[in-house]
Structure 1
Amino acid sequence: MDERPPQELKDELERLESDYEIFKINLFKEFTKYIIVNSAIAVVLAVILVVIAFKAEDPITEAWEPITVLLVFMSLGPAPLTLGVLSWDANRQLKPMTARAHGLEAAAARAAGTIR
């Protein structure tokens, strides 16, 4: 009995590996975009902190409350938000590849005769 998998299974595995490599490259590109956006927000926050430092002697009025909430959100929001979006998008893209991998695994097991 021939122990090697059929050529069609090898070809499908190579296509799946190629698709996964493309996915990793695209994920890195998306991650880079999010890093740039988060860095821009960090620069804006740094500028705001410098302005606040120069305005430290000014009295605080009630009109500053919405700005304070906005600054807290800008400080805490972008990183988890972008990580969540990136994770959701990656999972969405990986589902078809995972299904293909499971199908390929089952086909290889049938071809090897371990599952009938």
Structure 2
Amino acid sequence: VIHGDLATRNVLLTSTLDVKVTDFGLARQLNNYSMYVKTQDTPLPWRWLALESHRDMVFTSKSDVWSYGITLWEIFTLAEIPYAGATNCCQVVEDLEEGYRMRRPKYSTVSM
């Protein structure tokens, strides 16, 4: 299953500190395929998308790993907005293609 919308807004923490991933509205079952190509024109969470998802509308387990990394960044920045200075997805794509990466969060360690 590809979730397609991993972000802190879709993660719940129970009273026993169990983590629950929610909102499977963009999720897709892959079955015999390793990727999903989006063809519908629906809004996407562009601040959390991997570069290949931005460019080609391709979603894989690897693009979910990218979103997971952005989600961890959100957690360790204490809920800062990813790419806060960007006003649209085209700007994020251009920055990523030029090698830009967000700074390491203050509350993370180098080994993370």
Query: Could you say which TM-score interval applies, normalised by the shorter chain?
Result: under 0.3
- Give the strand-richer structure, 1 or 2: 2
Larger Rg: 1
TM-score, with structure 2 as normaliser = 0.27
Determine which structure has greater relative contact order: mean sequence separation of CA pairs < 8 Å that are 6+ residues apart, divided by chain length.
Answer: 1
TM-score, with structure 1 as normaliser = 0.26
